[in-house]
Structure formats: structure tokens, C-alpha cells
């Protein structure tokens, strides 16, 4: 260490800036204008179905080298983090979140929800467009990216919304993941259900080489079922699965596939929830030439309609919780690769909102903080291979959305990583949730495997329950897919 750097470390402005969180001092320092280097030693790294103890050398936010345990090579770094035989995995990519800002900051904001993501091992998020105002103009997208850049603790990107009367705005927007289409009504006013409008969006998506990302529920079926439910006074969460029925999902999927076949664009089905709906997608994939993909959410894997007796409206989301048979079919096809990846549809609402009567309570649950631990527990129980876990939460979202150099522990990739204590047994509790709403539908579930540290851009952002609040994530760049 040079004398000049020593003087900087001892200076009053420096000590004043970093005295609140001494652990993160070195991970924030720049040396000669460059980000300081880091070595993570004694880390268990899983590769090609094998796990071995290695070290990782990081500099300027990139993985520069993976050093085998028996190597005699000596590399110096400005900081050393001893993993103590914890498992080192790629940072998770949650490509489906609703961080609520701008417009609904009382539910959540970029600061609160990105902290939840970091605590859960998620290092990159892609935010949905149904804000207030909605992200359906290039101007609104630029405003949102400024808010995220100022407040997000994790890396971030955005989906752009398709709104009737504003479809020309898609051509003006820059650097976004996919074009979000609400075929069924949800939070916000972005419904787009007519075939001619959907065809217009699909043609724009094809021209821009972007994916149309679809909330596939048929609005006409939902409206008719809602009218019937109100006539019968079905003001109870147990009827949600009948209102937003399996048929509503299946018919919307069929409609989207029919239009896609005509146009030839890429489409991605969000939060697939039913056996019948997924089967339609699987059948179409066989002839889709790699242009059809889909995801599943943790609540549709781990919860079903039987949990609603306990959850009540805290289990209300769109599409709804389904049956155990649906759970099983989704799991089977997640493990065999027919479902491409997992995202959370993280959508916080306050407890007092959820405590309203069923028809008045909003739909949406949290998930970004708990998805990695839930899947780690499955891997620990040998119900899911570790390789498949990193594919569905890290590699595949990066691949499908064209996120360069993320999702793998590999030389040249971004140093977005998580350290996991595989032996740590714990219980998910509402009181532990960092999301502003402070609750989770997975409250009370016992797990083994906990996120110990989260590293983003080579900097320790979360460690042993503490955050590096000085750090800010970066906007990711989307490549052509």
C-alpha cells in the first residue's frame, strides 16, 4: 500500500464516509482510479456436476481467473474474502419483478426491493412496466432508469410496455429486455387483448428483434367469470382459481401461439401456472425453432389452492394458485428443461391492502428474496441438480434476454456472485423480509441453505445480514438474441 493511499485512509473525510459500516471499507475503495481487486478463497465451486474447492480472482468487476486449490500460483489482491468452504454460485437473475417505483412507492421502491433482492442472492432484476405512469413511452422509460440508477442496490434492466395507441413508442425506446403484453387485466391499465393489436406488437417485436413477453390470460373469460362470481357472492379467495380459470390461461396461450405462427416472432410466456397451458407451449416448442420460451414462478411450484385456507388473500396473485397436479407437472418440466427458467413476479402490496375483502384485495406476492433459498433447499434434498438450479436462475434468463457476461462463474464474466451456507437451517419469517411490505407467502417454511454473502461487480454488497448502502447497481445492456 502506497503512503498516499495510507494518508487517504486516515483522512477525516474518508473515515466519516465509511464509519457506519466498517466491513465494506475496502470493497468500495478505488486505487489509482480503478476498482480494487478481490480474491475469494476456499470456495466450493460447482462445475460439470463436480464440486471442488477453488479461489476466484476478481479485478475491475470481472472474473479474471479461477485458481485451483492445488495451484502454487501466487496472486495478490487488495482484499481477500475467505469463503470457509461455502458454496460459490452465480448471482441470480430475476427477470420478472414489479418494484413499484415510480407511482406506487407506498408499496415498495427501488431501494427497499433491491435490498430484498440482494439479501436473497439476486444480483440482477428486470422490472415490469406497469407503474404510474406506465413505462409505455421512451420518456417514461428514461425517467425510470434514472430512479433505478440512483437507488438500486442490484443491477437492473427494464421491460417496455405495449399500450394501445402508443405502440409507436416501442420504436423510440432504447435498451430494454422485452415488450410486455397484458392479455389479461392486472395491476395498471395496459390491457391489450384484441388479435389485431397483438399482431401489431408481434410484428414490431420481430422487426426490433425483441421478445414479446406475455401475461397470458383471456380477458373475456375472466370478465364473464367475475360477473358470475359477483352474482353468486363468491367474495372469497377460494374462488380465484375459478374466476381466472385454467381455460382463461389455455385460451390466451392458444391465441398467442396462433398469431406468433403467422408473424414468426419470438415470444415468452410469463408465470405459466397450469398443466394444460404448459402442454400447449411444449407442443408448440417442437415446431417453434427456438422462438418460444416460458417461465414458472416459485409460488406456482411450492404452493397450491390448499394453502389458501391459511394464506387467504396473501395467496392472491394472477394467475392464481392451482392444484397439486399442476404443481407436479410444472416441477417435472422445470427439471427436464421444457420450462426454460424461474422468475418471481415479485409484486409487493401492503398487509392492510391484502386484508381487504377478496374482490377489493390486490393481486401479487413477494418472491425475489426467497426464490434462491427455496431452490437451494430442493437441491440440498437431491430433488434438483445444482447445475439445473444455476441454469434456471442464472444462465437461461441471461441467454434468452441477451444479457452478456452474466449467469456463470467463468473467466471474463461479471463478478456477480453469491456465497451459500449449505448447512444453515432456518425458517422463512415475515419479520426477516426486507421488502417494504414485510411479508411473504412462504412464511413458516423450513429450509436448509442460506445466502451468506452477495457480491455484485466484484464488491461485497450483502454480508452476514448487513448491506453496503454506498453501492449502486448498474443498468445492464441487452444484446441481440
Catalytic residues: 345
Q: How far apart are CA 348 and CA 112, in angstroms?
A: 11
Question: How many angstroms separate the CA atoms of 217 and 214, rounded?
Answer: 9
166: left (phi over 0), alpha (psi -120 to 50) or beta: alpha
| Cα(32)–Cα(458) distance, integer angstroms | 17
Q: What is the DSSP string of 233-253?
A: T--SGGGHHHHT-HHHHHHHH
Q: Which residues contact 358 (CB under 8 A, 6 or more apart)?
A: 235, 236, 237, 239, 240, 313, 316
Segment holding 351, helix H or strand E: helix 351-354
How far apart (Å, rounded) are the C-alpha atoms in residues 354 and 363?
8
Alpha-carbon distance 336 to 278, whole Å? 13
Say if CB 454 and CB 91 are below 8 A apart: yes
Picking from 323, 470, 439, the residue whose alpha carbon sits closest to that of residue 14 is 470
Between CA 417 and CA 397 the distance in angstroms is: 16
- The alpha-helical segments, DSSP class H, found in 110-267 are 110-119, 138-151, 169-172, 195-208, 219-231, 240-243, 246-263
CA distance 94 to 374: 14
Instruction: Count the neighbouring beta carbons within 10 Å of the beta carbon of residue 70.
Output: 8
Neighbours of 268 (CB within 10 A): 23
Residues 6+ apart with CB under 8 A from 321: 240, 241, 273, 299, 300, 303, 304, 305, 307, 308, 315
User: 74: which strand partners?
Assistant: none
CA distance 246 to 235: 19
What are the grid coordinates assigned to 170, written together? 416501442
364 contacts 353 by C-beta, under 8 angstroms: no
Q: What is the CA radius of gyration of the chain?
A: 22
Amino acid at each position: 500500500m502506497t503512503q498516499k493511499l495510507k494518508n487517504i485512509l486516515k483522512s477525516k473525510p474518508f473515515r466519516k464516509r465509511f464509519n457506519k459500516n466498517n466491513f465494506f471499507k475496502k470493497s468500495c475503495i478505488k486505487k489509482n482510479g480503478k476498482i480494487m481487486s478481490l480474491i475469494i478463497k476456499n470456495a466450493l465451486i460447482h462445475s460439470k456436476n463436480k464440486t471442488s474447492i477453488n479461489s476466484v480472482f476478481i479485478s475491475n468487476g470481472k472474473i479474471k481467473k479461477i485458481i485451483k486449490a492445488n495451484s502454487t500460483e501466487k496472486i495478490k489482491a487488495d482484499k481477500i474474502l475467505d469463503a470457509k468452504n461455502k458454496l460459490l454460485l452465480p448471482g441470480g437473475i430475476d427477470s420478472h419483478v414489479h418494484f413499484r417505483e415510480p407511482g406506487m412507492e407506498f408499496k415498495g421502491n427501488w431501494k427497499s426491493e433491491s435490498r430484498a433482492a440482494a439479501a436473497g442472492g439476486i444480483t440482477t432484476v428486470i422490472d415490469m412496466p406497469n407503474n404510474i405512469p406506465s413505462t409505455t413511452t421512451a420518456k417514461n422509460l428514461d425517467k425510470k432508469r434514472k430512479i433505478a440508477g440512483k437507488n438500486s442496490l442490484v443491477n437492473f434492466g427494464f421491460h417496455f410496455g405495449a399500450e394501445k395507441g402508443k405502440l409507436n413508442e416501442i420504436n423510440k425506446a432504447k435498451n430494454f429486455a422485452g415488450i410486455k403484453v397484458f392479455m389479461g387485466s392486472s395491476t395498471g391499465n395496459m390491457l391489450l387483448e384484441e388479435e389485431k393489436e397483438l399482431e401489431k406488437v408481434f410484428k414490431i417485436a420481430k422487426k426490433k428483434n425483441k421478445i414479446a413477453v406475455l401475461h397470458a390470460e383471456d380477458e373475456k373469460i375472466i370478465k364473464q367469470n367475475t360477473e358470475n362470481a359477483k352474482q353468486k357472492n363468491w367474495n372469497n379467495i377460494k374462488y380465484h382459481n375459478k374466476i381466472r380459470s385454467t381455460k382463461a390461461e389455455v385460451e390466451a396461450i392458444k391465441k398467442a401461439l396462433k398469431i406468433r405462427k403467422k408473424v414468426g416472432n419470438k415470444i415468452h410466456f410469463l408465470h405459466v401456472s397450469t398443466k394444460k397451458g404448459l402442454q400447449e407451449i411444449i407442443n408448440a416448442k417442437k415446431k417453434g425453432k427456438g422462438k418460444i420460451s416460458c417461465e414458472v414462478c416459485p409460488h406456482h411450484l411450492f404452493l397450491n389452492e390448499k394453502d389458501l385456507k391459511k394464506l387467504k388473500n396473501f395467496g392472491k396473485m394472477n394467475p392464481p394458485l392451482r392444484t397439486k397436479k399442476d404443481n407436479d407437472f410444472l416441477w417435472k418440466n422445470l427439471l427436464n428443461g421444457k420450462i426454460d427458467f424461474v422468475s418471481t413476479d415479485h409484486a409487493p402490496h401492503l398487509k392492510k391492502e391484502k386484508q381487504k375483502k377478496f374482490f377489493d384485495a390486490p393481486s401479487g406476492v413477494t418472491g425475489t428474496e426467497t426464490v434462491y433459498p427455496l431452490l437451494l433447499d430442493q437441491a440440498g434434498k437431491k430433488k434438483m441438480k445444482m447445475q439445473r438450479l444455476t441454469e434456471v436462475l442464472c444462465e437461461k434468463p441471461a441467454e434468452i434476454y441477451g444479457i452478456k457476461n452474466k449467469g456463470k462463474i467463468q473467466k471474463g464474466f461479471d463478478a456477480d456472485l453469491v456465497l451459500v451456507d449449505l448447512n444453515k437451517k432456518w425458517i422463512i419469517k415475515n419479520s426477516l423480509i426486507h421488502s417494504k411490505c414485510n411479508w411473504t407467502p412462504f412464511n413458516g417454511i423450513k429450509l436448509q441453505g442460506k445466502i451468506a454473502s452477495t457480491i455484485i461487480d466484484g464488491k461485497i454488497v450483502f454480508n452476514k445480514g448487513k448491506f453496503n448502502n454506498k453501492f449502486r447497481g448498474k443498468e445492464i445492456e441487452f444484446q441481440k438474441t
